[in-house]
Amino acid sequence: MNFELNEEQHLIGQSAREFAKEFLDPIAADLDHSGEYPRDVIERLAGYDFLGLLLPEAVGGAGAGAVAYVAAIEEISQSCAAVATILNNHTLGSLAIAEWGNDTQKSEFVPPLAKGERLATLAIYENGPAPGIGPDALLVSRQGDNYVLNGTKAFVRNAGVADLYVVFATLAPAEDKKGFSVFLVDGGTPGLTVAPRLETMGLNGCPVAHVVFNNVTLPAAALLGGENGGDAIAQSLLAKASLFEAAQTIGIGKAAVKHAAEYAKQRIQFGRPIAALQAIQTLLAEVATDCHLAWLGVQRTAQLIEDGEPFATDAAIVKAFLARFGSKMLIDSCQVEGGFGYSEFMPLPRLFRDIAGTTLLDAPADFPDKIIADSIA
């Protein structure tokens, strides 16, 4: 397998790097403190075709492929992982339609999403012990030719700013069927309410909230992939989410080690920069090594997607690796900078909070282990 980016992939990564330096570096710290949704930045991303980067050309996207996409996400995350989170969730919601929608759904929904005229997101998680279980479970029932949704989806990213929600719901018990069904729900649909925004540890700028559905009535045309057809959609999207979040985590780790290395070259002790001390070199080398190893796994997984090969296990392996070592990258970088690294006027605290989100927010740290174990036993 060739791990070198081709010319197109390299140019996309370079474009993302230049965009991040010009538009994200100046606002990242303020965005972390304010938590304000960066609407202007997202509109600029759309102008650079990043909102349709992974979507097929046939439906108005750039058709760049998974390798180029993760390269762009890694570059963007070095500057502002919150913006990458907004982009990832939009891309996942858009991909659900591009890959699983019928011709009418693809032609109606995907082109404006690819152009950035509309923003998408997933609504998949619930507060109960399992989807469809618990007092707030999102259940769907049939009423004539329509579907009616009642319940709550939890921890929805892009909540309140998304124009389109890709919603995973469970057919009501009376239907005597099991499994997810997926619906395309416009953000302005009567009965859909976004709860007050949740204050999160990091990735500030990407709004997170519960979304409540109170007798939300949808036509049959809003059903994506058939009744009870959502399990396969969820598995595919969650595997891609693991890959995209891994690319984010690597970007955050690279930003941390770069900052720590610059500090180490400037900090003088015992008459020389601390970058010359073996203990500091060991810390920097370990972070760089972890980033490099994880990036090889991300590239391999992205290439498997482009080749049409199974990729869920590889995505889980990268996710599991970074769940173990992601936070350590920031701890080691903070150790290089000592008390300064712990100070809020330095970027490392922000990066520390962000990496907690990219490694832990979607699933417990041991969740990928089950996917890996099931593939070998």
Q: Does residue 364 surpass a pLDDT of 90?
A: no
> Is the pLDDT at 281 greater than 60, yes or no?
yes
Residue 174 pLDDT class (50, 70, 90 cuts): very low
* Model pLDDT for residues 2-55, shown as the tens digit of each residue: 678 888 999 999 999 999 999 999 999 999 999 999 999 999 999 999 999 999
Model confidence, pTM: 0.94
The residue among 92, 118, 144 that closes a domain is: 118
Which residues on adjacent β-strands are paired with residue 167?
123, 183
pLDDT surpassing 90 at residue 311: yes
pLDDT at 342: 79
Looking at residue 128, what is its pLDDT? Answer: 61
pLDDT in tens, 319-351: 999 988 888 999 999 888 888 877 787 888 999
Q: Does residue 1 form part of some domain?
A: no
Q: Which residue has the tokens 């090969």?
A: 309
In this structure, what CATH number is given to the domain that contains residue 339? 1.20.140.10
Q: State how far the Cα of 333 lies from the Cα of 1, in Å rounded to an integer.
A: 32
CA distance 68 to 181: 31
Q: How far apart are CA 225 and CA 143, in angstroms?
A: 19
Task: Please check the confidence at residue 218 and state whether its pLDDT lies above 80.
Answer: yes
Average pLDDT score, the chain: 91
Same domain, 126 and 21: no
Provide mean pLDDT across the span 166-179: 76
Tell whether 92 and 14 lie within a shared domain.
yes
Degrees, nearest 5: CA angle 364-91-243:
40
Whether 368 and 311 share a structural domain: yes
Does residue 305 lie in a domain region?
A: yes
Same domain, 102 and 58: yes
Rounded Cα distance, 5 and 16, in Å: 14
Q: How far is CA 147 from CA 133, 192, 369, in A?
A: 19, 14, 36
Cα 328 to its chain centre, rounded Å, is 20
- Half-sphere exposure (CA, 13 Å, Cβ side) for 44? 13
**Angle at CA of residue 234, ends 221 and 67, nearest 5°:** 110
The fraction of the chain above a pLDDT of 70, given in percent, is: 94
